[in-house]
Structure formats: C-alpha cells, structure tokens
Amino acid sequence: MTTARTSFARRSFRGVAVAAIAGAGITLAPLPASAAVGGATGQALAAAPAVAAAPAAAASGAAQTAVNTALAQVGDRYVYGATGPNSFDCSGLTTFSYKAAGVSLPRTSKAQSTVGTPVSKANLQPGDLVFFYSPVSHVAMYVGNGQIVHALNSSKPVQVMNLDSMPSYAGARRVA
C-alpha cells in the first residue's frame, strides 16, 4: 500500500473511531507511562496526549458532522493559510469541518465571528465556533465537556484542549 493510501486509510479509520466514541459519550484518557509498552523489546513508548470526546451530541446534524470532521483532524499539521485536507490554520479547520456538513463559512476567523447567532459561554454546544483576542484573530470549535478543537500555531498540530486554557475569549457563534 502506498504512503498516500496508508495515510488516507488511517485518517478514515481515525474519523470513524472518533465519531463512534463521540456518539457514545466516551472520554479517552492517556495510559500511565508505565502501561505504554510496545514492540518485542518491551521499550516504553511516548504517551499520546489525551483527547476527550464530546459527552453530548450537537444540537443539529450539521454541527455534529462538523465536530466529527474537526476531531478527525487531530494530529494534522498547522500551516498558515491551509484549508486541508492534511494541514490547517484555525479558520481553515472550521471552514473544512463545516464544509463537510454542507455549511459554507467565510475564510477568516474575523469574518466567521460575524455569522450565525451569538451564544453565551454558558450556553455553548458542540459545533459552536469560539473566538479569541481583540480584534478576533483565532477561532476554535467547541466539542463539549469544556473543550475545543483547533489549529493553534505552527509549533502544535490540530489538538483538543480546555476552552479556559486559551487566553482572551472574545465570544462564540452558532452556525448550524
């Protein structure tokens, strides 16, 4: 199997697995370092960061598809201006994810911050777009359980992290 086909197969499986886990309301947690053992030599492997799946379904099918698509990109590279399918910047990830759900979004985080319906932080639902900084210059997608998925910068791949660990919360919008 070629590298491209292997990569596609892994990405497809990862997307299906993430969707199944999210739909079941299961939270993934890392194994203790002592439990991560691999190969015939028994050498410890580096533990992967924890990814917690959304505990509740999104309010709409389109939002759920966008969440599932965004979560399937965890681990992909951040590249400024990239819109997928193998690398993303912040608004490229949200645009790509909602496009998979049949929803068209503007390309930039600033423009995305003007579409849809405003949502308070207390009423966030999976699929809501969450914005940071003033003026707005970063967007993430809320995935439930107080967590977001986003493409932060070139030093980190697409990742899931706690919403409150991001500085300068600027608001949220529901687009589907």
Question: Phi and psi at residue 86, in whole multiples of 5°?
Answer: -110, -10
Exposure string (b/e) for 42-55, b if CB count within 10 Å is 16 or more?
eeeeeeeeebbbbb
Strand partners, 130: 140, 172
Give the helix/strand (H/E) hosting 8: helix 3-24
Residue 75, phi-psi category: left (phi > 0), alpha (psi -120 to 50), beta (remainder): left
Nearest partner of 110 among 67, 173, 159, judged by Cα: 173
The catalytic position among 119, 138, 140, 151 is 138
Instruction: Determine the Cα–Cα distance for residues 26 and 19; give it in Å rounded to an integer.
Output: 11
The catalytic position among 90, 101, 103, 136 is 90
Q: Please indicate whether residue 128 is annotated as part of the active site.
A: no
The catalytic position among 63, 150, 152, 176 is 150
Q: Please indicate whether residue 18 is annotated as part of the active site.
A: no
Instruction: Determine the Cα–Cα distance for residues 121 and 11; give it in Å rounded to an integer.
Output: 31
Q: Please indicate whether residue 138 is annotated as part of the active site.
A: yes
Q: Which residues are catalytic?
A: 90, 138, 150
